[in-house]
Amino acid sequence: MALATSTTGTSSSSDDWQATKRTIRERTSLMINNPLMSDVKFAVPLDPGSSTGSGSQLIYAHKLLLSLSSPVFHAMFYGNVADTREIIPLSDCHSRSLIEFIRYLYSDEVHLTSGNVFELLYLAKKYIVPFLAESCCRFLESELRETNVFRILEHARLFSEPDLEQRCWQLLEAKTTACLQSEGLLWISRDTLSSLLKRDTLSLVDGECAIFKAARRWAAANCKLRDFEPTGDKLRGVLKEVLYLIRFPMMPPRLFEDIVVPSGILTEQEISQVHMFHKQGASSTACHVKFSCKPRGPRIQSGSSDAQLSRCYRYRENQTFPSSECFNSVSESLRFSTSREVYFAGVRLYAHKDEDKQYSAQLRVSRCHGLKEEVSATRGIYTVGYLAGQVHNRLGFDVLIPNPFLLTKESPFAVRISISGNDGARVSPNKGIPMTFVKCEGIEFKFEGKSRQILEILFYTVD
């Protein structure tokens, strides 16, 4: 009489069970956690939350079948120093995960879930079962979200899975702000946090302030694990060299004063250096500041980028009307929001109906929600000209900010511009009537305000 079994180790009698199974896979599948012909048992911890409480469970296995799929098991059972114990304790996995691992070794089938995939990936690496590791990585890629990206990233780095790690970094760069708000951030290693803060291409709605808050949350969680009071000195001690990867000079001065200085993380000398940078700019103080002065932003800053600049034109075609009036300067503001995330790059301004005239212009951009702070500004001398292919209605000049930044969907931002001329090139107002709603590149723009000199919003789409 033979025994057929379930994966719980219980058996039922059957004299001819082999004759009922067509393939070797079906027959070996019956051996999963089956005492029939078992010549080795594993004692493993019960799964958390098990109804039988804490303790261990015996899992039945078969040396031959294990060794056919894993070189580690082959060396363990048939090598020069074979393990002859009948019961082998395994403390680094739980019973359900080990049964699922044995299922794969016996039948090439595996039932992956968010609850067992990390242990199965660990077992696949430990016992050198590369195709199971591939299945685990594919599953994790399909499940990758802002809420679990840090946990998956930590395992990808631990088990040297570069493709999975790259997918995690891609999500982190595209959705940085949402990812930083997840609880998974608190449990990553200092090395992973360091790798995150070294990246230049993070997409931050609240700028470098979001990086500081995330690092402070991580440090506070680690202080709690060590029973430390999260004072400035303790937070600094936990962060160690990671502190110098936060780009404090890139924070708006008011937020630096209100959020960073009271935390006590920085020394008086470091605070003074950042203050000096805010007052005098990069040219005179960058070499004396301990922190990077390079803004973070999307990959479109790279010279090798193929990103295409998009233009949202606020008027109907051929609906700009030069005025006969002229002024020394014109200042206006425009409030707008978008239906999808985009990277703001600048504006195109109207100044005169004639080409080649030069004007000085200033552009400032502020958010109208959350941290109501100026997020970008630029100024310079610009020459009026036409855009290729748009001869009739695009006369003006582009004002581009040095570092495009992320606009979250349906979040209002304010653009303020100032155009100044001279005796030979005075500013001519535009008398056209702009539209309130414009659809461009599949994105809906909503405009509020009476600005007419701002012809276009310049932006990059988010992949």
- Residues 449, 327, single domain; the answer is yes
Sheet (strand 329-338) strand order: 374-383, 358-367, 413-420, 329-338, 443-448, 437-440
Question: Collapsing DSSP states into helix, strand and coil, what is residue 67?
Answer: helix
Structural domain total, the chain:
3
Q: What is the pLDDT of residue 278?
A: 82
Instruction: Point out the domain boundary residue: 280, 302, 326.
Output: 280
- Residues 237, 319, single domain; the answer is no
What is the per-residue pLDDT across 22-74, written as a single tens digit (0 to 9) for each? 888 888 999 999 999 999 999 998 877 555 556 789 999 999 999 999 999 99
User: Which pLDDT band, with edges at 50, 70 and 90, does 389 fall under?
Assistant: low
- Residues 116, 82, single domain; the answer is yes
293 belongs to a structural domain: no
246 belongs to a structural domain: yes
91 belongs to a structural domain: yes
User: Which pLDDT band, with edges at 50, 70 and 90, does 320 fall under?
Assistant: low
Average pLDDT, the chain: 86
369 belongs to a structural domain: yes
- Residues 455, 328, single domain; the answer is yes
Residues of the domain holding 267 = 153-280
Instruction: Point out the domain boundary residue: 110, 143, 176.
Output: 143
Residue 2 has pLDDT above 50, yes or no: no
* Contact assessment for residue 380 and residue 426, using Cβ atoms and an 8 Å cutoff: no
Q: What is the mean pLDDT of residues 116-133?
A: 97
Residue 362 has pLDDT above 60, yes or no: yes
- Residues 109, 217, single domain; the answer is no
268 belongs to a structural domain: yes
> In 3D, which of 158, 161, 170 has the Cα closest to residue 136?
161
Instruction: Give me the residue label for tokens 């760069």.
Output: 173
CA angle 413, 419, 424 (to 5 degrees): 165
What is the per-residue pLDDT across 188-202, written as a single tens digit (0 to 9) for each? 999 999 999 999 888
Highest mean pLDDT among 138-152, 303-317, 367-381: 138-152
- Residues 76, 47, single domain; the answer is yes
Residue 8 has pLDDT above 60, yes or no: no
Separation of CA 375 from chain center: 20
Q: What is the pLDDT of residue 12?
A: 46
* Contact assessment for residue 366 and residue 437, using Cβ atoms and an 8 Å cutoff: no
- Residues 165, 251, single domain; the answer is yes
For position 380, which CATH number holds?
2.60.120.820
What is the per-residue pLDDT across 400-458, written as a single tens digit (0 to 9) for each? 987 787 788 888 999 999 998 876 677 777 777 889 999 998 999 999 988 888 999 99
